[in-house]
Chains A and B, each alone.
Chain A
Amino acid sequence: MARLDVKIKDLSLKNPVMTASGTFGYGLEFADLMPLDGIGGIIVKGTTLKPREGNDYPRMAETASGMLNCVGLQNKGVDYFCKHIYPQIKDIDTNMIVNVSGSSPDDYAECAARIDALEKIPAIELNISCPNVKDGGMAFGVTCAGASSVVKAVRERYHKTLIVKLSPNVTNISEIARAVEAEGADSVSLINTLMGMAIDIEKRKTLLSINTGGLSGPAVKPVALRMVWQVAKAVKIPVVGLGGICTAKDAIEFLMAGATAIEIGTANFLDPAVSIKVRDGINDWLDRHGCQSVQEIIGVID
C-alpha cells in the first residue's frame, strides 16, 4: 500500500482523486453507489451569488467519445447553498470544495466571502472558464487581465485554499496560469470544457439550445494532458489535472505530466463508482512498480 496523500498548499488530500464540478452534484446523489469519503475531494456544482436558471433544454449532446453540454450554471445561489446544502454535506469525511462562478469580480468575491465563512469548506475552485454563460465565466478566463481581475478581487476576501479553474479555449494557457499565480492563486485546475458544436443534419439545427457547448469526456484527454504538462512547467503552484480521465492509467498520465491531483468528470456518468476504481488502480500501479508514494511519479515527464 503506497502513500497516496498529496497537498495543494494547505489543503491535505488523502489521495489525489477528486470529482469535478458539475458531474457529481453535491456528492449525496452518489452516496448509495460509492463511499464518498474514499476519495480526496468532491468539487460541488458551480455556485453563484444569485440563483441561475441556466440555459434552455436541450443542454446535452453525445458525441464521439464525449459529450457537449450547455447547462449554463444552473444553481440556487450561494445563500441557498449555505442554508440548505452545506448542512447536508459538511460532515462528509473528505474535502468538500465549492466551485464558484460569477458575472463580475465583485460577484465572485462576494460569493467566495460567504463560502469562506463555512467552517467545513476548506477550499474553493474559481470557475473563470464556463463556456456556456454570456455574462462572466469564460469571458474572464480568456485574457490575463480578466483572469487577474477576478482572482485579485477574490483573494482579498477569501482566505483558504484558492484553486482557479482555467479555460482551454485560449491561445496560451500558461500565460493565464502565470497571471492567476501572480494574483495569489494557490493552485490551478485544468481543463474546463472545450467549446464545441454538433448539428442534426435531418432537422438542419444544432443539437444544443444555444448552439455551442463544452466538450468533455475521453475525446479531450490528449489536449488536456498536453495543457497540464505545459502549465505544470510554467508555474510553481500545484496543478490539478482533469479532462477525460476514465481510468487509473489516465490519471497516472496526468500525475506524470505534472498534476499533483486529478479530477474525474464525465466518467462519473458512465460509472458512478469510477473515482474509487481510479484511486485503487493508482495504488495498485504504485505497488506493482515498487513506489512508496504517489509523490514519486508526479511531474516525472520533463
Chain B
Amino acid sequence: MKKYLLDLTVRSVERIHERYVLIKLTDEKPLPEMLPGQFVEIRVDGSPTTFLRRPISINFVDTKANELWLLVAAVGDGTRKLAALQAGDKLNCLLPLGNGFTMPQKAEERILLVGGGVGVAPLLYMGAQMAEMGCQPTFLLGARTAKDLLMIDTFQKYGRVCMTTEDGSSPSIGPGAEKGFVTNHSLLQKERFDRIATCGPTPMMKAVARYARQADTECEASLENLMACGLGACLCCVEKTTEGNLCVCKDGPVFNIRRLLWQD
C-alpha cells in the first residue's frame, strides 16, 4: 500500500480517562485507505526528548467524516505532548504502516477480538470493518478496573462486548464484567471461534496465544516493539520468529502466533 507523509489537522482531543486521550484528525483531502491493525508514525515536536516519531495504532477511520482516530496513552514525554494538542493544531503523520489483521472471508466467520488496556484501540476499527461486511464480532476487553475499560459504548455499536476487570468492578453499560484476566472469561469455555485477533500487554497476548493453541484456533497478535523508522529500514523493532528476526513495523505489527517463538 502506498505510504503518505501528511500534515493532518487536529479536529478534537477528548480526554476519555485520566491517562488516555482520543485524538481525531482530519485533512482537506480524503484520507488514504487504511487497514485495521495498521499504524501511524507521528512526529511529536522534534524536541530533544521527543526526537523520534511515535507509533500509534489506528483506532478508527470514519470515512464519512474523513476522520482518523488515535487512542493515545499519555505515558511518556512524547505521548503527553500529544495529549496536550488542541483543535486546529497540525500533526505530521506517516501512514499507513504495517500489515494489518487478516479480515474474515465470509460473514459467518466467528471472530473474537481480545484487547487489554490501550491495546483495545485497533480492535475497534477491525470490528467496525467486520460489521460493515455483515460479520458479528465478539469483543473481549480487559482492564484493571471498570473505569479503565475504554470506549465500551463505541464497541457495542459493532458487536457483542464481553469484559473482565481485575477487581471485578463493572461499568454502568454492557453486560457486566467478570473478575479476572481476559483469559479467565467464561466465554472462552462456552464458545469456539474460527479466529482470534489480540492486542494488548505482552503477558496478556501470550496467555491468549496459549488459549488459542489449546483450542486449536487461528490467532493473530499485534506487537508493540520499540521502533524508530516505521518503514523496515533501521531494523530496530525486530521480533524473533520462525523465519528469524522480522521487523514489527514492516512484517508486522500483526503476526500469526505460529510464527512467533511464544511457546512459554
User: Counting CB contacts under 8 A, is B211 at the interface?
Assistant: no
User: Counting CB contacts under 8 A, is A33 at the interface?
Assistant: yes
CB closest chain-A residue, reference B5: A33
* Distance, CA A83 to CA B6, complexed state (A): 35
Residues of chain A in range 246-269 having any CB-CB distance to chain B below 8 Å: 268-269
CB closest chain-A residue, reference B230: A269
* Distance, CA A273 to CA B94, complexed state (A): 11
User: Counting CB contacts under 8 A, is A166 at the interface?
Assistant: no
Task: List chain A residues, Cβ under 8 A from B46.
Answer: 270
Contact indicator B235/A271 (Cβ below 8 Å): no
Contact indicator A269/B234 (Cβ below 8 Å): yes
Of B232, B233, B237, B244, most A-chain CB atoms within 10 Å = B233
Given contacts A71-B236, A268-B229, contact A33 B3 (CB under 8 A): yes
Contact indicator A60/B234 (Cβ below 8 Å): yes
User: Counting CB contacts under 8 A, is A32 at the interface?
Assistant: yes
Given contacts A60-B228, A268-B229, A269-B228, contact A23 B51 (CB under 8 A): no
* Distance, CA A33 to CA B152, complexed state (A): 37
Given contacts A65-B48, A268-B229, A269-B229, contact A54 B5 (CB under 8 A): no
Interface of B is mostly: loop
Contact indicator B235/A62 (Cβ below 8 Å): no
User: Counting CB contacts under 8 A, is A25 at the interface?
Assistant: yes
CB closest chain-B residue, reference A64: B48
Residues of chain B in range 191-246 having any CB-CB distance to chain A below 8 Å: 225-240, 244-245
Instruction: Categorize the interface residue count of chain B.
Output: 20 to 34
Task: List chain B residues, Cβ under 8 A from A273.
Answer: 5
**Contact check: which of A25, A61, A69 meets B231 at CB < 8 Å?**
A25
Shortest CB-to-CB span from B87 to chain A, Å, is 25
User: Counting CB contacts under 8 A, is B24 at the interface?
Assistant: no
Shortest CB-to-CB span from A2 to chain B, Å, is 27
Interface size on A, residues (CB 8 A): 33
**Contact check: which of A30, A32, A270 meets B43 at CB < 8 Å?**
A270
* Distance, CA A32 to CA B239, complexed state (A): 25
Interface of A is mostly: loop
CB closest chain-A residue, reference B92: A271
CB closest chain-B residue, reference A207: B226
Task: List chain B residues, Cβ under 8 A from A24.
Answer: 233
User: Counting CB contacts under 8 A, is B2 at the interface?
Assistant: yes
CB closest chain-B residue, reference A217: B51
User: Counting CB contacts under 8 A, is A230 at the interface?
Assistant: no
Given contacts A62-B51, A65-B51, contact A71 B234 (CB under 8 A): yes
Task: List chain A residues, Cβ under 8 A from B48.
Answer: 64-65
* Distance, CA A62 to CA B77, complexed state (A): 11
User: Counting CB contacts under 8 A, is A299 at the interface?
Assistant: no
Residues of chain A in range 25-59 having any CB-CB distance to chain B below 8 Å: 25, 29-30, 32-33, 45, 53-54, 56-59
B residues near A, CB below 8 A? 2-5, 43, 46, 48-49, 51-53, 94, 225-240, 244-245, 250
16 contacting pairs across A/B (C-beta < 8 A): A22-B235, A29-B229, A32-B3, A54-B235, A57-B245, A60-B226, A62-B49, A62-B51, A65-B51, A66-B51, A69-B234, A74-B235, A74-B245, A217-B51, A270-B43, A272-B231
